[in-house]
Amino acid sequence: MSVILKLKMMRENFSKMEQKIADYILNHPEEVKQLTTYQVAKICKTSQASIVRFAKKMGFSGYPDFKLSLSQDIGVRSAKKQVNIIDSEINSDDSLQEVCQKVAHENVRAIEDTYSLLDFKELEKAVKALEKAKRIMILGAGFSGVVAKDLSYKLLELGKDVVFEMDFHIQLSLLSTMGAKDILFVISYSGKTKEVYEITKKAKERGILIITLTTIAGNPIRDLGDISLNTVELNKNFRATALSPRISQMTVIDMLYVRLILENKEMEENILEAMEIVKNFKL
């Protein structure tokens, strides 16, 4: 998991002191990988215990583990800097070729960043939960609704009992029929969509297992989840709003889908049977 990317994603949800520590690390990554907790604490005017807690909040066992991952991240990023890539905004005066290059690069970067933020333990937990689920309700609105629809189709192909509805009132009705053996899979880029949050909250109250696919930064919907899957949070501009979140979400969905097929022979057979049926309707 990319330490630097995760720091950027989580920064808004840090306390003022944690933001100060994060900013120092982001601005001086090469120096930090050589410093002790005492030295970093002195520079940031805080305690060594605070530095250790910060490392643990980032998901590491301690400061040495954090430094090791930071060093590895710096190495990967240094290698990428050797490659000439287009990393500027899409502008109205760009040529068609420039627009295509930038869109292609943006999509590739979204996939790479999504992979770097993966928590494989959470991903495996999600796969196991989906395998065992009696019924799966999928929730998503706007662009996330498009991804939710794709997930529902993929799970139906695998022979799972899946429900997906865009209407808020129908969602509430469906939720009332669900129980402890069922799953609510919530897809929300921001994790702050009001209607989606309300449905998720109701599911939590009913004791339904919740899988969330949201940005890694803290958000209300993610906080309600039992299993949390991450997507990248990018700059709030045209590119990020229209392109990258969808690509990031789809990447995680495809990873789950492929893993489910590989884990279950019956699901693999369902896919092959579906492909055979569809083939008969091709010209």
* CB proximity list for 192: less than 8 A, separation 6 or greater: 219, 220, 221
**pLDDT above 80: residue 121:** yes
pLDDT digits (tens, 9 = 90+) for 171-212: 999 999 999 999 999 999 888 899 999 999 999 999 999 999
- In degrees, rounded to 5, the angle at the alpha carbon of residue 184 between the alpha carbons of residues 208 and 150 is 170
Q: Is 87 domain-assigned?
A: no
Distance CA(183)–CA(148), nearest Å, equals 14
Q: Is 262 domain-assigned?
A: yes
**Is residue 73 a contact partner of residue 2, using CB atoms and an 8 Å limit?**
yes
167 & 68 share domain:
no
159 & 267 share domain:
yes
**Reported pTM:** 0.74
The pLDDT confidence band at residue 2, using thresholds 50, 70 and 90, is confident
| Among 214, 31, 227, CA closest to 127 | 227
Q: What is the pLDDT of residue 8?
A: 84
Q: What is the pLDDT of residue 82?
A: 42
Across 8-17, 128-137, 174-183, 253-262, least confident range: 8-17
**Is residue 163 a contact partner of residue 135, using CB atoms and an 8 Å limit?**
yes
Question: Would you tell me the crossing angle of helices 244-263 and 120-132 to the nearest 10 degrees?
Answer: 60
Mean pLDDT in residue range 85-105? 75
How many residues does the structure list for the chain?
A: 283
165 & 73 share domain:
no
Query: What total number of domains does the chain contain?
Result: 2
* CB proximity list for 125: less than 8 A, separation 6 or greater: 227
Of 80, 99, 134, the one marking the end of a domain is: 80
**pLDDT above 50: residue 239:** no
Q: Which domain holds residue 26?
A: 3-80
161 & 59 share domain:
no
**Is residue 183 a contact partner of residue 131, using CB atoms and an 8 Å limit?**
no
Mean pLDDT in residue range 105-123? 87
Q: Is 190 domain-assigned?
A: yes
227 & 132 share domain:
yes
Q: What is the CATH number of the domain that holds 11?
A: 1.10.10.10
**pLDDT above 90: residue 54:** yes
Q: Is 104 domain-assigned?
A: no
Read off the tokens for 241: 């709003």
128 & 71 share domain:
no
Of 52, 80, 108, the one marking the end of a domain is: 80
133 & 261 share domain:
yes
175 & 275 share domain:
yes
Of 29, 58, 80, the one marking the end of a domain is: 80
Q: What is the CATH number of the domain that holds 235?
A: 3.40.50.10490
**pLDDT above 70: residue 41:** yes
**pLDDT above 70: residue 79:** no
124 & 58 share domain:
no
167 & 223 share domain:
yes
148 & 40 share domain:
no
